[in-house]
């Protein structure tokens, strides 16, 4: 590595041949344990449309080795002579810092300048993971599933990093926009909506979850040594060169607890939100001023004073003159009014509402749009109507049979539908007969029901929902004479007549 230490790792990004160096480093991206020669890199670059001679690639790789981004491996020893070994090209591999720098640089170069979405769901996941960690450790100190514990610990720190980085990127974007003095009306409106929405998300979620996370971290602190001891891989020696994942040391947990302390991370977010809103108000005052030194805010305050000093009538006139809210005239250009008393002088408050077609209301014309709708097939509706009519006819026929089978209706038990048919027939009989001093009869040939009423004792018919009592009349149901030979009800009526004669 050069004299600049770790800073030399970034030199290839700003060097004169930065495109060549970046293309060489891209060849190692996505490869594991890759050792490439200059010829291999040149072939890979030619396949991607960036032709570089092998000698040029060799020079670029040596420079990257000097800066610490690449490391040179041994030469290819496959030759049979010393000359073959001397002519053989070295092979190169990426160093750990060089690979990390290139990954971060590629992410930055491919990122957009817009606002990054804040990972608001991360705070809730952190709180849930801390509960699971506490449940796995418990009071006994033994962990039944160390792998699950390691997954929850990694999730806590991964979500914390995602949240803090997304919030930092968002506020960085806000700082860049707030520093601009050339915001147009459209840019200002869009920026204002984004700012208010994200500030509400950040401040509300932080206020809800930050105290919860801080409390659960304090509850977990007494058993933190048990958590660290149960994590897989924590027993690796330090000289092994292994960089441990976040959450494997007590310092990681202490730093996490300090961030969620009320006077640390949450306070900084609230201060940043207040500062952003203050800067937004500055832009608002600037944009609402028509000319330098003249503010519409002063006009609105002056107008508010006039309203405060005016009477109701003067306030209405002032409002109409200021905002052009003059009363509308009813021009009678629509359909005919249903009320002839409504004229051009009638207020809309007093007149009935007028139906306005959608095309006229939304587009200002009556011309039809789109294709003509297809005429629906009436067959399903007709089939359903026929089925309902058939079902209703069968139910009525069953009710008629029920009445005819009972014959003398006094004390008979009938259904609700039979009772309804009986009432209909009785109503028709009462309407036709002026007096019921003598027997009377009504025939319904469509239903096949004949009802006879004659003076006598009361008739009581029992139904599921109550009893029907017909005073001073004896009721008998039978089949009309025209249909008597075809049914069982006719035989029942004949038998009843024979019994009465005997």
Tens-digit pLDDT profile for residues 179-189: 766 666 666 77
Closest by alpha carbon to 77, among 91, 63, 97?
Answer: 91
The Cα–Cα gap between 292 and 206 comes to 40
10 Å Cβ neighbour count for 249?
A: 13
What DSSP line would sit under 186-247, residue for residue? HHHHHHHHHHHHHHHHHHHHHHHHHHHHHHHHHHHGGGHHHHHHHSTTTTS-GGG-PPPPTT
Q: Tell me the HSE value of 18 on the side-chain side, using a 13 A CA sphere.
A: 12
pLDDT at residue number 138:
67
Asked whether 26 and 99 are in contact (CB, 8 A), the reply is no
Q: Is residue 355's pLDDT more than 60?
A: yes
Q: Which residue has the tokens 């050339």?
A: 182
The predicted-structure confidence for 392-427, as pLDDT tens digits, reads as follows 999 999 999 988 988 898 999 999 999 999 998 888
Q: How confident is the model at residue 328 (pLDDT cuts 50, 70, 90)?
A: low
* pTM value > 0.95: no
185-220 vs 265-287: helix axis angle to the nearest 10? 170
Q: Is residue 254's pLDDT more than 70?
A: yes
The Cα–Cα gap between 109 and 149 comes to 36
Mean pLDDT of the chain: 78
Q: Is residue 240's pLDDT more than 50?
A: no
pLDDT at residue number 239:
44
What DSSP line would sit under 35-66, residue for residue? -EEHHHHHHHHHHTT----HHHHHHHHHHHHH
Q: How far is CA 326 from the centre of its chain?
A: 42
Q: How confident is the model at residue 356 (pLDDT cuts 50, 70, 90)?
A: confident
Tokens, residue 142: 């033994």
The Cα–Cα gap between 196 and 10 comes to 37
Most confident among 89-103, 365-379, 450-464 (mean pLDDT): 450-464
Work out the end-to-end distance of the chain between its first and last CA atoms, rounded to an integer number of angstroms: 133
pLDDT at residue number 499:
37
The predicted-structure confidence for 185-222, as pLDDT tens digits, reads as follows 666 777 777 777 777 766 778 888 888 888 888 888 88
The predicted-structure confidence for 135-148, as pLDDT tens digits, reads as follows 888 666 677 788 88
Question: What's the burial of 257, exposed, middle or buried (CB within 10 Å: 0-12/13-18/19+)?
Answer: middle
What mean pLDDT is predicted for residues 55-79? Answer: 80
Closest by alpha carbon to 89, among 69, 65, 107, 113?
Answer: 65
Asked whether 133 and 156 are in contact (CB, 8 A), the reply is yes
Q: How confident is the model at residue 322 (pLDDT cuts 50, 70, 90)?
A: confident
What mean pLDDT is predicted for residues 57-78? Answer: 80
Q: How confident is the model at residue 433 (pLDDT cuts 50, 70, 90)?
A: confident
In order of 59, 121, 362, 402, the CA distances from 411 in angstroms are: 117, 74, 68, 13
Q: Is residue 496's pLDDT more than 50?
A: no
DSSP 485: G
Q: How far is CA 219 from the centre of its chain?
A: 35
193-202, 264-273, 310-319 — which is least confidently predicted? 193-202
Q: How confident is the model at residue 336 (pLDDT cuts 50, 70, 90)?
A: low
Of all residues in the chain, the percent with pLDDT exceeding 70 is 75
SS3 443: strand
Residue 488 phi/psi, 5-degree rounding, is -70, -30
In order of 129, 138, 215, 226, 247, the CA distances from 150 in angstroms are: 11, 15, 21, 12, 9
Q: Tell me the HSE value of 404 on the side-chain side, using a 13 A CA sphere.
A: 26
- Residues in a beta bridge with 92: 36, 72
The predicted-structure confidence for 471-495, as pLDDT tens digits, reads as follows 888 999 998 876 655 444 444 444 4
Closest by alpha carbon to 258, among 205, 210, 207, 306?
Answer: 210
User: Where is 462: in which H helix or E strand?
Assistant: strand 459-463
- Residues in a beta bridge with 449: 444
pLDDT at residue number 398:
92
**Length of the chain measured in residues:** 502
Question: Cα–Cα–Cα angle for 160, 152, 237, nearest 5°?
Answer: 95
């Amino acid at each position: 590595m050069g004299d600049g230490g770790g800073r030399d790792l970034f030199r290839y990004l700003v060097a004169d041949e930065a495109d060549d160096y970046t293309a060489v480093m891209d060849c190692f991206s996505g490869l594991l344990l890759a050792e490439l020669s200059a010829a291999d890199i040149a072939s890979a670059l030619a396949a991607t449309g960036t032709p570089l001679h092998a000698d040029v690639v060799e020079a670029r790789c040596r420079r990257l080795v000097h800066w610490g981004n690449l490391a040179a491996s041994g030469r290819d020893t496959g030759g049979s002579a010393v000359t073959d070994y001397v002519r053989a090209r070295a092979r190169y591999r990426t160093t750990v810092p060089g690979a990390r720098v290139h990954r971060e640089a590629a992410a930055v170069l491919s990122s957009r300048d817009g606002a990054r979405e804040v990972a608001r769901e991360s705070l809730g996941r952190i709180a849930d993971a801390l509960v699971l960690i506490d449940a796995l450790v418990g009071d006994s100190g033994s962990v039944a599933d160390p792998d699950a514990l390691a997954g929850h610990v990694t999730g806590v720190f991964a979500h914390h990093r995602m949240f803090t980085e997304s919030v930092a990127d968002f506020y960085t974007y806000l700082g860049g926009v707030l520093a601009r003095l050339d915001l147009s009306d459209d840019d200002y409106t869009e920026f204002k909506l984004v700012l208010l929405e994200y500030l509400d998300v950040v401040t509300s979620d932080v206020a809800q979850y930050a105290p919860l996370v801080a409390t659960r971290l304090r509850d977990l602190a007494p058993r933190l040594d048990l958590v660290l001891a149960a994590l897989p891989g924590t027993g690796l020696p330090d000289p092994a060169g292994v960089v441990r994942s976040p959450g494997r040391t007590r310092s990681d947990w202490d730093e996490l607890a300090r961030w969620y302390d009320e006077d640390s991370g949450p306070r900084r977010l609230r201060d940043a939100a207040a500062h952003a809103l203050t800067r937004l108000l500055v832009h608002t005052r600037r944009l609402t001023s028509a000319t330098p030194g003249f503010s519409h805010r002063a006009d609105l305050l002056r107008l508010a004073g006039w309203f405060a000093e005016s009477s109701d009538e003067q306030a209405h006139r002032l409002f109409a003159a200021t905002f052009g809210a003059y009363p509308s005239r009813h021009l009678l250009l629509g359909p005919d009014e249903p009320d002839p008393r409504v004229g051009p002088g009638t207020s809309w408050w007093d007149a009935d509402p007028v139906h306005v077609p959608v095309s006229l209301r939304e587009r200002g014309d009556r011309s039809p749009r789109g294709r003509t709708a297809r005429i629906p097939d009436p067959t399903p509706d007709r089939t359903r109507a026929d089925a309902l009519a058939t079902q209703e006819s069968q139910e009525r026929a069953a009710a008629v049979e029920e009445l005819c089978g009972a014959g003398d209706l006094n004390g008979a038990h009938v259904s609700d539908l039979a009772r309804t048919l009986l009432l209909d027939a009785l109503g028709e009989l009462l309407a036709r007969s002026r007096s019921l001093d003598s027997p009377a009869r009504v025939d319904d040939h469509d239903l096949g029901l004949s009802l006879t009423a004659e003076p006598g004792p009361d008739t009581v018919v029992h139904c599921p929902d109550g009893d029907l009592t017909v005073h001073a009349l004896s009721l008998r149901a039978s089949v009309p004479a025209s249909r008597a030979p075809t049914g069982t009800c006719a035989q029942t009526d004949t038998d009843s007549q024979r019994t009465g004669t005997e």
